[in-house]
Amino acid sequence: MPETKTVGHALRKKDSMGLLLGKPAFLCDVTPADCLVVKLLRSPHAHALIRSIDTSIAMKVPGMVAIYTYKDVPHNRFTNAGQTYPEPSPHDRLILDQRLRFVGDPVAILAGESEKAVNRAMKLIKVDYEVLTPVLDFHTAKDNPILVHPEEDWEALCPVGADNHRNLCAHEVCSQGDVEAELAGCDVVIDHTWHTKACQQAMMETFRTYTEMDPFGRLHVISSTQIVFHVRRILSIALGIPKSRIHVEKPRIGGGFGAKQTSVSEVYPAFVTLKTGRPARIVFTRQECQIAGSPRHEMEVRVRLGADRQGNIRAMDVYTLSNTGAYSEHGPTTVGLSGHKSIPLYTGGLKAFRFGYDVVYTNVQAAGAYRGYGATQGIFAVESAVNELADRLGIDPVALRERNMVRQGMIMPAYYNEPANACALDRCLTRCKEIFDWDHRFPVLDMGNGKVRAAGVAMAMQGSGISGVDVGSATVKLNDDGFYSLTIGAADMGTGCDTILAQMVAECMDCPLDNVIVFGADTDTSPYDSGSYASSTTYVTGKAVEKACTQLREQILTLAAEALGCPADELEFTGQEVRRCDGTASISLVDLATRSMCNNNTAVQATCTHSSPMSPPPFMVGMAWIELDKETGAVTLLDYKAVVDCGTPINPALARIQTEGGLCQGIGMALYEDVHYTDTGRILEDSLMQYKIPTRLDMGHLQVEFESSYEPTGPFGAKSIGEIVINTPAPAIAQAVYRASGVWVRTLPITPEKVLMGMQGKA
């Protein structure tokens, strides 16, 4: 890559000091508090019909303004999934429905002058429920006589294999080669099923939305969302009003991870504001976030992995059963990644693969789009299978991977036949092995005090945006004084994309980062962007930024040509001035910018849009070193080392933090974060007291390095970083636990109980 001044440098995030000093930035800081308080009465039953509902006593509470039930809302089915229209997720929701499909499904919307009034009124709503038998076991959901969505107006807009009369949200099988014949010819076949739970995203800022009518009579929505444009469409469909009447913007977002790629909270205050004409705000409690949020899809992934005695992996058969819960959000799409972003890691000598899946409806909390988006679940299974194969064959798992992994230049049949244009996975493995000291740490070390130290490894991939779907756009404008404004529709949820994209502007326009201001995202003013998800922003929107800057440079030259009275092709732009190549005349950018505001017909503002026909995978390797207590089964993570190929890291500091943050979430998923339902379908881990995300004492020491490749289709050679980083801890830690204890824990999280009972042969 050519020398760069801004891209590739670890610059501070533009909003960093404001955030660190606690300046008002988030939804509840920047929206008026004197608005209607909106809260939801939620179903205590996993499956029920409302026989009758009486709100008359509740409405007598002083300060109550409105209570709405299923009788009051439009009968328009929609999905909350923030996806490009037509959404792959079937339209299966009403704002409020007579049928309640999980413990926490909204029964009524309450709006009042104070929280106290609303809380009091909530206890006074009389509901007569006809309690129905729920579908709680996702193994028996398909073709179960009890239907989660029996309604006739349920609608699948895309052919995803969904059938509400079979509790099916999606179904597909794809293959290449004869997988059964290849498996039959293999010396060794590993055949197991791996189970991951509906892990919570646990972003620190819960779901929240503020709504008001603006002076033009339009619905103004301020929401903590990753997807302003999708929210506009979702509200339009749900409320039955034109999109032109809706304006959606986001303030700073207190964490997303995909949770806010689903429109979880927006519709409720929006409905209240439309009905009452008054400003309204909903703020989910942590408990609501845990029981009616947007967790990871619970999946069981069966892998049949075949290889010869030398360790050449010949065939892989992957079947995923995914639990979308009560509603379809991201059900049909997350599951695809469990195979399409795990199998291609072993493109090396693979002769045949098959990948099939069923996504089923059940009466539990609906899942959503959580970082990794199905790849996390699939990679836990496939990487664990490869580790079990290494163990069976007595081959070092790193050597086994070196023999079979995808390498630069290969076509990946299981990844829609995309090429690995930029792939430093081999270098990641070599480097990780080196910094981890794999050769010394892989042999199990008995500490002589009942404790054992052991190591594990895993590889991962993800995508960079959704190929042929995601749209990124950027507007870059020259202002007086020669500074630039960048307007985007992508959402910085803390990741730093505002800064990363501004770094690209600074690089393209040859100016300091401080000369670029960033605004977004707002449906009224931002150019269209699908939103920040699917690891798309750096790769897709970044390319749009690059294109817009190229166009703006041309406009600047045109303007300068008029000013200097010469053809534009005799001019060059240095960032600070435009000068004639022969050095005889020049005009400063400041003067040009000023000139653009007087008697000027040349725009100095460019908007460009980008979509990519491919989704180049980032790759990475992670290695875990643990200490296991043989007496209790407790696992302590000592060290985790990871080496990532995200193409060019645009901002190495932010790329490192993304990696460390993703590893920490992955460690939580591997060791601590559990979800249990009671036999009536209630989630036990409904607070941060029971749902244990890692503290800084629970994640050992992380070390992250980068092995860069250059992706020719990305801006400055960049691919993505946001999601891939969560994928390696579970399989790497599971292998380390096996090495230390002799127990393969195939259901996450790896609790001391599971390890100890496994060691005692009671698994």
Partner 1 sequence: MEIRLTLNGRQLRAEIEPALLLIDFLRAQGCLSVKRGCETANCGLCTVLMDGVPVLSCSVLAARASGHSVQTLEGLQEEAEEFVGFIADQGAEQCGFCNPGYVMNTIALLRENPNPTDDEIRAYLAGNLCRCSGYEGQLRGIRAFLNARGTKEVNPHA
Binding site for partner 1 (CB under 8 A): 10, 12-13, 15-26, 28-29, 33, 201-206, 252-257, 285-287, 493-496, 651, 653-654, 656-657, 659-665, 687-689, 693, 695-697, 699, 701-702
Half-sphere exposure of 492 (CA within 13 A, CB side): 23
Minimum CB separation of residue 18 from partner 1 in Å reads 8
For residues 91 and 252, which CB has a smaller minimum distance to partner 1 in the complex? 252
Residue 749: asked if its preceding bond is cis (omega within 30°), the reply is yes
User: 335 with 374: CB under 8 angstroms?
Assistant: yes
Q: Which is nearer to partner 1, 9 or 392 (CB)?
A: 9
Tokens of 662: 């993703």
* Smallest distance from partner 1 to CB 250, Å: 12
Q: Smallest gap, in angstroms, from Cβ of residue 492 to partner 1?
A: 9
Enumerate residues 6+ apart whose C-beta is below 8 A from 425: 345, 405, 406, 407, 459, 461, 619, 620, 621, 645
Q: Which is nearer to partner 1, 494 or 618 (CB)?
A: 494
Of 371 and 547, CB closest to partner 1? 371
Assign 3-class secondary structure to 398-462.
HHHHHHHCCCCCCEEHHHCCEECCCCCHHHHHHHHHHHHCHHHHCCCEECCCCEEEEEEEEEEEC
Element containing residue 669 per DSSP (H, E): helix 652-671
User: Min. distance of Cβ 662 from partner 1 in angstroms?
Assistant: 7
Residue closer to partner 1 by CB (options 388, 673) is: 673
**CA 618 to CA 404: how far, in whole Å?**
18
Q: Are 568 and 621 in contact (CB under 8 A)?
A: no
Tell me phi and psi for residue 314, to 5 degrees.
-105, -30
Backbone angles phi, psi at 288, to 5 degrees: -60, -40
User: What is the nearest approach in angstroms of partner 1 to the Cβ of residue 699?
Assistant: 7
CB of 651 to partner 1, least distance (A): 7
User: CB-wise, 96 or 624, nearer to partner 1?
Assistant: 624
Which H/E stretch holds residue 523?
none
Least distance to partner 1, CB of residue 25, Å: 7
Which is nearer to partner 1, 290 or 612 (by Cβ)? Answer: 290
Least separation in angstroms between residue 562's CB and partner 1 is 42
**DSSP E strand stretches across 161-283:** 168-176, 188-196, 208-213, 219-223, 246-249, 280-283
Nearer to partner 1 (CB atom), residue 75 or residue 701? 701
Least distance (Å) from partner 1 to the CB of residue 703? 9
What is residue 487's DSSP assignment? E
User: With respect to partner 1, which residue has the nearer C-beta, 201 or 421?
Assistant: 201
Closer residue to partner 1 (CB): 494 or 749? 494
* Phi, psi for 379 (deg, rounded to 5): -70, -35
Give the nearest distance from C-beta 700 to partner 1 in angstroms. 10
**How near is the Cβ of 265 to partner 1 at its closest, in Å?**
15
Rounded to a whole number of angstroms, the minimum distance from the CB of residue 697 to partner 1 is 5
Q: In this complex, which beta carbon is closest to partner 1, that of residue 182 or of residue 205?
A: 205
C-alpha closest to that of 551 among 471, 476, 486, 498: 476
Beta carbons within 10 angstroms of residue 664's beta carbon: 22
Q: State which residue, 463 or 666, has the beta carbon closest to partner 1.
A: 666
Q: Which amino acid, residue 341?
A: K
CA torsion angle for 719, 723, 726, 731 (degrees, to 10)? -70
Distances (CA, A) of 504 to 71, 425, 604: 51, 26, 18
Nearest Cα residue to 529 out of 485, 477, 470, 476: 470
Name the residue nearer to partner 1 (CB basis): 35 or 253.
253
Alpha carbon distances (Å) from 441 to 385, 444, 448, 456, 744? 21, 7, 16, 9, 19
Least distance in angstroms from the C-beta of 710 to partner 1 = 23
Full 3-state SS string of 289-347: HHHCCCCCCEEEEEEEEEECCCCCEEEEEEEEEEEEECCCCCHHHHHHHHHHCCHHHHC
Q: 375-393 and 397-404 helices cross at what angle (nearest 10)?
A: 110
| Nearer to partner 1 (CB atom), residue 28 or residue 585 | 28
Please give the C-alpha separations between residue 719 and each of 73, 499, 712, in angstroms, as whole numbers.
Answer: 44, 16, 9
Tokens of 594: 């000023």
Name residue 313's beta-bridge partners. 307
Q: Least distance (Å) from partner 1 to the CB of residue 384?
A: 23
Question: For 491, how many CA atoms within 13 A lie in the half-sphere containing its CB?
Answer: 33
Is the Cβ of residue 335 or residue 702 nearer to partner 1 in the bound state? 702
- Nearest residue (CB) to partner 1, 370 versus 539: 370
Q: How far is the CB of 200 from partner 1 (least distance, A)?
A: 10
The residues, ordered by sequence, that sit 6+ positions from 209 with a Cβ below 8 Å of its Cβ are: 27, 221, 222, 223, 224, 225, 265, 266, 268, 269, 270, 281, 282
Taking alpha carbons only, the member of 241, 199, 279, 262 closest to residue 27 is 279
CB of 642 to partner 1, least distance (A): 11
Query: Are the C-beta atoms of residues 42 and 544 closer than 8 Å to each other?
Result: no
Q: How far apart are CA 751 and CA 671, in angstroms?
A: 6
